[in-house]
Structure 1
Amino acid sequence: MNTRITVERRGPILLIGLNRPEKRNAADLALLEELAAAYGELEHDPELRVGLVHAVGDHFTAGLDLADIGPRIGPDGLDYVVEGGINPWQLEGRYLSKPVVMAVQGTCLTLGIELVLASDIAVAAASTRFGQIEVSRGILPFGGATLRFPRAVGWGNAMRWMLTGDLFDAAEAHRIGLVQEVVPDGEQFARALELASRVAAQAPLAVQAVLANAHLAVRSGDAEAERELQPELVRLVGSEDSVIGMQAFVQRKPAEFVGR
């Protein structure tokens, strides 16, 4: 049976591929469950430092496969996080401790935008078309867009697209800050891999500390995050990676961090 998600380890990077191209990578329950499992693998494996989410075929995702998902939405919503998995949209009070880079192309609708919003760096192919079209289907975005879209791009920009359901292009996605880079079609994966490799080359404990403190500021406010800055600095200075980083600086050579 074909898997809905491909998983490939490339050194410390976990490549996570949406793999239902015959349906423009529309997400049925199987895809959501496999995606949650892949995120769990990224989180729990100490050898992995960064995730790179991409898509097989011409399109990133056409959003939810409503024919499959609709009947599965019960009184408590939709349950798709398998044992050991992590909600890829991170809406349960728990964030990934490791960064995720996204490479998108073709059609990127609804939950695709919400995956971008829940990630850390996003690269888009120039011809990508985006749409937060839930209002056109009589539902609301339930993967985090109502929370994160206004924070990421500003209230007016977010509402312009969420309340109309209109499609927008990669240039607009870049203008408002939804994606960080736009590249020629076909180059999005390679560029995303370059960025993921750059992140993976940094000190893992420090990368995770940056993410954790930024998430804490969003979740609990600046004051909570401020209180953690000095204790985190002390913890990191005592790490083996800090010694490696300082030695590399003095010796003017690249650091090879060990994650301890």
Structure 2
Amino acid sequence: MNPDTPTPAEGGIRTEVRGHLLLIGIDRPAKRNGFTPAMLQALAEAYTRLDDDPALRVGVLHAMGDHFTAGLDLPSFAPLMQRGERAIAQGLVDPTDLGRPGYRRRTKPMVVAVKGITYTLGIELMLAADIVVAADDCRFSQLEVQRGIMATGGATLRMAERAGLGNALLHLLAADVFDSAEALRLHFVQRVVPVGSELDEALRIAEAIAQQAPLAVVATRLNALKAVEQGPMAAADEFEATQRRLANSEDAREGVLSFQEKRAARFSGR
């Protein structure tokens, strides 16, 4: 969506390229950025663009207005839920990164800036990303049980993995509201900053990642993810083959040359 294009009533997703970064903006501030099916489809398309464009190295997910997202717009999603259907077309990268059949998993890093109301899908999107910067005014809630449904975007998996089962169930079952300090304590977010500076900090982190060797960044991310999902030994089994592939890349040669010449490396992603 062009930055100058008015936001449609059903909301939209704005994208902006800054160097090697793809900024992805949730844009429905009049409704606290509540997601419609069209918005979720557009978000998946933006994530797919990040993975498919070799010039893009890092994604930055953020939101327009004062809030990250109030979560799903339930009236627009209820018919899909009742039919057991998904809003995202198959073949795209799934923003919740659950590895479901028919959907791709993201390979490139995603940094998220959250603020204000960050409910349900908002928590699941940030837990599915890699690094989260939270404004100190955040209000988090995983309140699906309050609406008679279950969180199916990854909260039941990742909250327990990050914070332990008891801490996860405390928030999943009580449907309470908690703040940025609690989210930091539970390892749901990595940084808490004053409100208004969260996107700048997310961009700073994303820029630092984008300066590294792209192939090595992707390989490192995927290996760490495999260790979490399949165990340390499954990740360790890939060490030699992955290192051999990376060591024979143009970027690895550039890494050695830039070290010898005492200059910043100029990585090409090859």
Q: 2:186 & 2:226 partners in 1: Cα distance?
A: 24
1:193 aligns with 2:203: yes
Alignment of 1:37-52 (within 5 A): 37-52=45-60
| Alignment-mate amino acid for residue 41 of structure 1 | R
Number of aligned residues: 259
1:246 aligns with 2:256: yes
Q: Which runs of 5+ in 2 are unaligned?
A: 1-5
1:96 aligns with 2:96: no
Q: 1:255 & 1:193 partners in 2: Cα distance?
A: 20
1:142 aligns with 2:152: yes
Q: Which runs of 5+ in 1 are unaligned?
A: none
Alignment of 1:10-159 (within 5 A): 10-75=18-83, 77-82=84-89, 85-93=92-100, 94-159=104-169
Normalised TM-score (structure 2): 0.92
1:61 is paired with a residue of what secondary structure? coil
Normalised TM-score (structure 1): 0.96
Deviation at 1:259, TM superposition (A): 0.3
Deviation at 1:219, TM superposition (A): 3.1
| Paired-residue identity, % | 48
Deviation at 1:247, TM superposition (A): 1.7
Q: 2:85 & 2:61 partners in 1: Cα distance?
A: 22
Contact 2:66 2:116 (C-alpha < 8 Å) held by counterparts: yes
Deviation at 1:74, TM superposition (A): 4.0
Deviation at 1:220, TM superposition (A): 2.8
| Alignment-mate amino acid for residue 153 of structure 2 | G
2:239 is paired with a residue of what secondary structure? helix
Deviation at 1:78, TM superposition (A): 3.0
Q: 1:24 & 1:232 partners in 2: Cα distance?
A: 43
| Alignment-mate amino acid for residue 26 of structure 1 | G
Q: 2:230 & 2:134 partners in 1: Cα distance?
A: 31
Q: 1:73 & 1:17 partners in 2: Cα distance?
A: 25
Q: CA RMSD in A?
A: 1.4
| Alignment-mate amino acid for residue 44 of structure 2 | A
